[in-house]
Each structure stands twice: as structure tokens, then as C-alpha cells.
Amino acid sequence: GAVVSQHPSRVICKSGTSVKIECRSLDFQATTMFWYRQFPKKSLMLMATSNEGSKATYEQGVEKDKFLINHASLTLSTLTVTSAHPEDSSFYICSASHPGPTNEKLFFGSGTQLSVL
């Protein structure tokens, strides 16, 4: 199946710094990518929908100035957590929408564990 690569898999940063997470669709072009956040033993929560060449659409309650999303190409979307604080520590997962006639439409990255000290 299609592959979505997410990098880094784990990052530790100091409070107040910014962290960038990359999500790449390796063998298909993804007009739309999605960013999720997951706390321990909780379900995935949709943060935003990222569309190539346009502004991201954020879910209610998600601060767009804190979680900057850029989808500059059909294979890359980035999530930047700005001025990170300990409460931003979480597991972040991206997914990409496959355009082809496949049974599986959404492919997920392996996630990024962010720990803010």
C-alpha cells in the first residue's frame, strides 16, 4: 500500500521553543492531509485539515497561531508547534488522502511523540 512518512518519530524540546513535524506521502500525491493529536490512552483528535496551496482548516478549539500548518507541495505537509509548553506534549499523527480508486483512502504516518520539558 501507499506510504506516509512522518519525521521525527520522537522529539524532546525545551519550553518556549518551536518544533516542526514533517509528513510526506512517498508514492502518491496528496492534495489533502490531516493532522491528529492523541493523548495517552485516548483516541485520535482531528486538529486540522491541510490542503495543498491553501490555508489549513482548523477544528474548533485548535489555535491556528500555535499549530502552524504548511502544505506547500503535493507530497509534504508540516506542522509547527510554536512556543511549545508542557501541555503540548502529545502524540501527533498525520494522514494523507489517497486520490486513487483504492479501498483504503487514508494512510497514516507513524506518529511523532513530542515531549516539552
Partner 1 sequence: LAKTTQPISMDSYEGQEVNITCSHNNIATNDYITWYQQFPSQGPRFIIQGYKTKVTNEVASLFIPADRKSSTLSLPRVSLSDTAVYYCLVGDPNQAGTALIFGKGTTLSVSS
Residues that bind partner 1 (CB under 8 A): 1, 4, 6, 31-32, 34, 36, 43-46, 49, 51, 91, 93, 95, 97, 99, 103-111, 113
Q: How far is the CB of 13 from partner 1 (least distance, A)?
A: 18
For partner 1, the closer CB: 16 or 72 = 72
DSSP 3-state of 76 = strand
Q: How far is the CB of 84 from partner 1 (least distance, A)?
A: 19
For partner 1, the closer CB: 28 or 34 = 34
Residues 99, 107 contacting (CB under 8 angstroms): no
DSSP 3-state of 4 = strand
For residues 105 and 73, give the distance between their C-alpha atoms in angstroms, rounded to a whole number.
Answer: 19
For partner 1, the closer CB: 31 or 89 = 31
C-alpha to C-alpha distances, 2 to 27, 50, 73, 85, 95, nearest whole angstrom = 6, 19, 17, 34, 11
For partner 1, the closer CB: 4 or 79 = 4
Q: How far is the CB of 83 from partner 1 (least distance, A)?
A: 25
Q: How far is the CB of 28 from partner 1 (least distance, A)?
A: 13
